[in-house]
């Protein structure tokens, strides 16, 4: 089944929770860290000569720079993690729960990497995510769907984008179009901030187009099931209600990308999305799609 079918609420909302949990795992990894990125301690012992002090300061700065680079790379890996290996098109609630349970241990290696180089200023947010992660590990991923988790996620995202220097773009969704998308982008991290100014719920789903798949954008979007399956989901904001904002951090490789919204027509709220018919026409069929190239 094509990736856009993931937008049907019965499958998409659990996927949205798990996509967010990738960031939760990253934040959980930060707990208990004592390293302040990019900061040196001016109160440390001074050497017997100015030259010794200079060398110590240079070594500290180099260590901080290396730690920051490692943190940013690990944070990007976690932020852009696609989540559990689940066939979202056919998965049952039991399949999703099983995939989630199996996925959490796979994040431990990344947790071990990021913990000693984490920024201490995120300690309050980390506590929020720790509680949610503990609940999720016991089979309750809905713990991620709270205002506290949303606020913590926003704080950590803002920190990472600023401190790691990840480029950002601002995109607007309306019925039925995207505005603000570039024609080209550089490979690497990209933070996409999306504001929904339309009366319906929208999303921005980013899919990569394999090199062997060709054709105009309209053909790709309206392709049959087999062709659609060749497009790879890179990331998604998830559903964004009218007047609200969403965001997603993606890791981009050189190539062609499609941004689209496959949410069903007529969904003006999350409640409407949850009860939408699987036969409803997706927004993409109204032309809500765009493309860009990563160089």
Q: 282 - beta bridge partners?
A: 264
Contact 101, 139 (CB under 8 A): yes
Q: List, as one string, the DSSP characters of 56-124.
A: HHHHHHHHHHHHHHHHHHHHHHHHT---S---TTT--HHHHHHHHHHHHHHTHHHHHHHGGG-BGGGHH
Same domain, 148 and 8: yes
Same domain, 26 and 116: yes
Q: Which of 164, 199, 216 is the last residue of a domain?
A: 164
Q: Which of 123, 144, 164 is the last residue of a domain?
A: 164
pLDDT score for 98:
80
Same domain, 218 and 147: no
Same domain, 12 and 123: yes
Same domain, 155 and 172: no
Find the domain containing 60 and state its range. Answer: 1-164
Same domain, 155 and 227: no
pLDDT in tens, the chain (295 residues): 222 223 222 333 433 433 333 333 333 333 333 222 333 333 333 333 444 444 444 444 555 667 788 888 988 987 887 667 776 656 777 887 787 778 767 665 666 676 677 788 877 777 777 777 777 767 676 777 789 988 988 888 899 999 999 999 999 999 999 999 999 999 999 999 999 999 999 999 999 998 888 889 988 887 634 444 578 888 888 899 999 999 999 999 999 999 999 899 999 999 898 888 888 999 999 999 999 999 9
Has this prediction a pTM greater than 0.95? no
User: What does the buried/exposed string (b/e) look like for 261-273 if buried means 16 or more CB atoms within 10 Å of the residue's CB?
Assistant: bbbbeebeeeeeb
Number of domains the chain is built from: 2
């Amino acid at each position: 089944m094509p990736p856009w079918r993931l937008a049907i609420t019965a499958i998409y909302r659990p996927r949205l929770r798990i996509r967010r949990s990738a960031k939760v795992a990253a934040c959980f990894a930060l707990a208990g860290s004592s390293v302040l990125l990019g900061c040196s301690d001016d109160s440390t012992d001074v050497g017997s000569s100015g030259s010794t002090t200079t060398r110590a300061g240079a070594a500290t700065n180099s260590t901080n720079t290396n730690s920051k680079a490692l943190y940013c790379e690990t944070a990007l890996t976690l932020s852009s993690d696609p989540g559990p290996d689940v066939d979202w098109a056919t998965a049952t609630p039991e399949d999703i729960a099983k995939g989630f349970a199996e996925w959490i241990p796979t994040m431990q290696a990344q947790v071990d990497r990021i913990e000693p180089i984490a920024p201490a200023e995120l300690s309050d947010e980390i506590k929020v995510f720790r509680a949610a992660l503990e609940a999720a590990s016991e089979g309750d991923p809905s713990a991620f769907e709270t205002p506290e988790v949303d606020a913590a996620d926003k704080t950590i995202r803002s920190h990472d984008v600023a401190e790691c220097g990840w480029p950002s773009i601002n995109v607007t969704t309306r019925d039925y179009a995207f505005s603000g998308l570039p024609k080209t982008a550089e490979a690497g991290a990209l933070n996409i901030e999306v504001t929904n100014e339309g009366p319906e719920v929208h999303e921005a789903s980013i899919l990569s187009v394999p090199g062997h798949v060709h054709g105009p954008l309209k053909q790709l979007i309206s392709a049959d099931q087999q062709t659609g399956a060749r497009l790879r989901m890179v990331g998604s904001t998830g559903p964004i209600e009218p007047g609200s904002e969403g965001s997603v951090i993606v890791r981009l490789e050189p190539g062609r990308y499609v941004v689209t919204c496959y949410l069903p027509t007529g969904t003006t709220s999350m409640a409407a999305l949850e009860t939408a018919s699987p036969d409803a026409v997706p927004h993409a069929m109204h032309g809500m799609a765009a493309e860009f190239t990563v160089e």
